[in-house]
């Protein structure tokens, strides 16, 4: 990362504020300096001393601090950054941003900046779902603010739902890809499939798998950062769709195929979804009841192979069709035979044996397999794999 990159971090008040200390440290690993504004509420959760000890710089708190005004006015502070990052962003600061208030240093800097703004919300699930917060979110998105997260899960307040601050590593990856983006896929269109599918047994039960969708979402995000027009067709996940994608939610493999076909023609098609190979042929239309302890007999029939179907389209086939191979053994050999069998151009071969922690984890160990070559991309975050893939795609389409 370029030595001169600078992110103005605004820490607003919330229990997740302590996670920003890790964000600051990880940004520095990428040589990104991090001048910080700590709001009054933010200072209730982390001390200015701990922030400045990590950032190695002054922590700005007061709009009317004359020393700060002499050293670096609030306008200069916001203009000298390459990106303004609000993390964690409370419902309150999002509301202030949406309505253009400027009654403290943080909101003044946000109103005065001419730089891109990224927001990582963190709040109680009810506050997040409140129509007021959702309306503010839409306003911010319309103005081009990049939103990262929130994630779903158990909250510090004891409740469960969407509102959890994204993992610091994920946020830092988003910042790094944002700062690195080179728009080298501008004008290109892409289809990405992601997540698991769900195949009904009856109206309340289904068969699915452990796919988190993280790799597919990271790829969609990296493609958007590179300027591509992206359709993300996804089974149910806990992730928020990346900003800027055309998002198509689906449940079954049949729906995934229909939505993927509808997204064509595209220049690029990447199949990261973990599709159920079979669906229940005799799925019940009513909830199956227990019958004297007798287990119901399920019959299965094959699902369509979405990757193979689209790779074999004669007219309007995407220029680059990329599949994944999730393998627990004979990684390269199995990936090569999948490449041939499914008629795709590249396979990203993924070692999903338990020891790698790939399934559901934040990192993966990928090999790029082509018909005549293969290369290991090593163990890295799913965001890094996504960026490397986008770089490889851009090279391929250029040449
Ligand atoms: N795939 C697909 N439709 C299916 C099954 C798989 O589009 N019905 C795609 C996946 O998105 C992935 C690739 O095919 O890009 C390979 O998926 P994988 O699960 O590794 O392979 P399978 O074809 O399911 O083969 P197997 O389970 O025998 O390894």
pLDDT band at 80 (very low <50, low <70, confident <90, very high): confident
Higher pLDDT residue, 354 or 26?
Answer: 26
pLDDT at residue number 68: 55
Best mutation site among 198, 234, 277, 328 for ligand 1 pocket (most ligand atoms within 8 Å of CB) = 277
DSSP three-state, residue 206: strand
Q: Where in the chain is the domain with CATH 3.40.50.10300?
A: 189-398
Residue nearest to atom 27 of ligand 1 (CA): 277
- Residue 55 CA to residue 47 CA, distance in Å, equals 12
- Tens of pLDDT, residues 208-239: 999 999 999 999 999 998 889 999 999 999 99
pLDDT at residue number 88: 96
- Tens of pLDDT, residues 314-344: 999 999 999 999 898 999 999 999 999 999 9
pLDDT at residue number 146: 84
Task: Let me know how long the chain is.
Answer: 399
Distances (CA, A) of 14 to 11, 35, 39, 97: 9, 19, 10, 17
Residue nearest to atom 24 of ligand 1 (CA): 277
Cβ of residue 323 lying under 6 Å from some atom of ligand 1: yes
Q: Is the pLDDT of residue 178 over 90?
A: no
Q: What is the mean pLDDT of residues 186-201?
A: 97
- Residue 273 alpha carbon, nearest atom of ligand 1: 11
Q: Where in the chain is the domain with CATH 3.40.50.1950?
A: 5-180
pLDDT band at 352 (very low <50, low <70, confident <90, very high): confident
Q: Is the pLDDT of residue 67 over 80?
A: no
Task: Evaluate whether the domain defined by 5-180 bears CATH number 3.40.50.1950.
Answer: yes
pLDDT band at 3 (very low <50, low <70, confident <90, very high): low
The rounded Å distance from CA 271 to ligand 1 centre is 9
The residues, ordered by sequence, that sit 6+ positions from 131 with a Cβ below 8 Å of its Cβ are none
The rounded Å distance from CA 397 to ligand 1 centre is 25
Q: Is the pLDDT of residue 145 over 90?
A: no
Candidate from 112-126, 219-233, 374-388 with smallest mean pLDDT: 374-388
Q: Is the pLDDT of residue 69 over 60?
A: no
The reply to whether 344 belongs to the active site is no
DSSP three-state, residue 279: strand
Q: Is the pLDDT of residue 2 over 70?
A: no
Higher pLDDT residue, 162 or 156?
Answer: 162
Percent of the chain with pLDDT over 70: 96
Which fold, 189-398?
A: Rossmann fold (3.40.50)
pLDDT at residue number 351: 86
Best mutation site among 194, 216, 325 for ligand 1 pocket (most ligand atoms within 8 Å of CB) = 325
The rounded Å distance from CA 378 to ligand 1 centre is 22
């Amino acid at each position: 990362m370029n030595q001169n990159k600078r992110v103005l971090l605004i820490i607003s008040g919330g229990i997740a504020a302590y996670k920003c200390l890790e964000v600051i440290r990880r940004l520095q690993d990428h040589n990104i300096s991090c001048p910080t504004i700590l709001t009054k509420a933010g200072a209730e959760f982390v001390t200015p001393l701990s922030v400045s000890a990590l950032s190695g710089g002054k922590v700005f708190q007061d709009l009317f601090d004359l020393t700060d005004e002499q050293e670096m006015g609030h306008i200069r502070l916001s203009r000298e950054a390459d990106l303004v990052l609000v993390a964690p962003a409370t419902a309150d600061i999002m509301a202030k941003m949406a309505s253009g208030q400027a009654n403290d240093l943080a909101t003044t800097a946000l109103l005065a900046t001419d730089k891109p703004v990224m927001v990582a919300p963190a709040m109680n699930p009810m506050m997040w779902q409140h129509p007021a917060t959702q309306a503010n979110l839409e306003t911010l998105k319309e103005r081009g603010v990049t939103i990262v997260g929130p994630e779903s899960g158990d909250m510090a307040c004891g409740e469960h739902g969407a509102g959890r601050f994204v993992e610091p590593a994920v946020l830092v990856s988003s910042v790094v890809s944002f700062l690195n983006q080179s728009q080298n896929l501008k004008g290109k269109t892409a289809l990405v499939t992601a997540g698991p599918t769900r195949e009904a047994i009856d109206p309340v039960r289904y068969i699915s798998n452990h796919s988190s969708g993280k790799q597919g979402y990271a790829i969609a995000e990296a493609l958007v950062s590179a300027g591509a027009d992206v359709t993300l067709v996804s089974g149910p996940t806990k992730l928020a769709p990346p900003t800027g994608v055309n998002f198509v939610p689906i449940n079954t493999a049949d729906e995934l195929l229909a939505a993927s076909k509808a997204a064509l023609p595209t220049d690029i098609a990447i199949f990261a979804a973990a599709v159920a190979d079979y669906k229940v042929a005799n799925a019940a239309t009513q909830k199956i009841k227990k019958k004297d302890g007798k287990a119901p007999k399920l019959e299965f029939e094959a699902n369509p192979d979405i990757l193979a179907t689209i790779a074999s389209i004669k007219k309007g086939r995407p220029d680059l069709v990329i599949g994944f191979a999730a393998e627990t053994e004979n990684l390269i050999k199995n990936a090569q035979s999948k490449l041939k069998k499914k008629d795709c151009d590249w396979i990203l071969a993924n070692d999903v044996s338990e020891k790698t922690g790939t399934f559901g984890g934040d990192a993966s160990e990928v090999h790029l397999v082509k018909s005549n070559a293969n290369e290991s991309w090593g163990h890295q975050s799913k965001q890094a794999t996504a960026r490397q893939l986008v770089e490889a795609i851009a090279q391929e389409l250029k040449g």
